[in-house]
Every structure is written in structure tokens, then in C-alpha cells.
Amino acid sequence: MKVAIPVTNGFVDGPGEGLEVMIYQLEGDKFTLVEKYENPALRATAARGLHMLKSALDKGVNAVIVSEIGPPGVRLLKGKAKIYLAPGLKVEEALEKLLKKELSETDKPTHDEHHHHTHDDY
């Protein structure tokens, strides 16, 4: 299994927030870092998480571990990659839990669509 994880300071983050993306190869009871790169979401202005998720799919991952995910991300990954949730976990903890089948898999968003416009209250 090839897994992508958005990471900030060693912790699993959201696809639109992680400072970097780490891609691991899982075989048996071992995980190996195969690639690390700056999260393309950091340069995006809208639907930021999608930029990270698309970059991971382009690199052949079949799973992601995230702290949260919105509806666009779930739609993008449907039928392409499994989504595992690991909020508050360090990367190594999340990978160990995945190997032990202790991470929860989801096909639902953890939050609604993000709208970045303001409403004036009068």
C-alpha cells in the first residue's frame, strides 16, 4: 500500500493545511518513507486540500491519512484511494495504527464545504 500524509511538525494534518506531504510504502509490518515534498495546497487560493490530494494520486497512492477532510476531497478520492482519519496523531503513530488496522476508515467528510466569503451584519 502506498500512503500519502499531509504533515505539520511531525503530526498528521489536513490536506489543505499540512506544510509538507510524505508518501510511505507499507509492506508487511514495515513502513518506508519514499518521498517528501512541499504541500502544493500552500500556494493555492481555493479548494486547497484538492491540490494536495491530486498530487498524491498523481504519485500513485492508494490511501491517505488525514486529520480531517471536506466534501470535495471525499468526492475526489472516491473509488481511487482509501481515507483514514488520524487527528492529533504523530505520523509514526498513525502508520503503526494503520498497520495494526486500528485507524478508522471513512467515506464521509469530517466537515462541510468551506466558504471563504463574509456576510455583513447590519
Answer whether 16's CB lies under 8 Å from 49's CB.
Answer: yes
Predicted confidence (pLDDT) per residue in 48-103, tens digit: 999 999 999 999 999 999 999 999 999 999 999 999 999 999 999 999 999 999 99
Please check whether residue 58 is in contact with residue 5, taking contact to mean a CB–CB distance below 8 angstroms: no
**Which cell goes with 31?**
513502513
Amino acid present at 53? L
Mean pLDDT of 116-121: 44
pTM of the model: 0.90
Looking at the DSSP bridge assignments, the partners of residue 84 are: 65, 105
Q: Is the pLDDT of residue 113 over 50?
A: yes
Domains belonging to the chain, first-starting first, are 1-22+37-42+53-81 (3.30.420.130)
Query: Tell me: the pLDDT tens digits for 15-36?
Result: 999 999 999 999 999 999 999 9
Q: Is 34 helix (H, G, I), strand (E, B) or coil?
A: strand
What was the pLDDT predicted at 114? 61
Residue pLDDT, tens place only, 43-62? 998 889 999 999 999 999 99
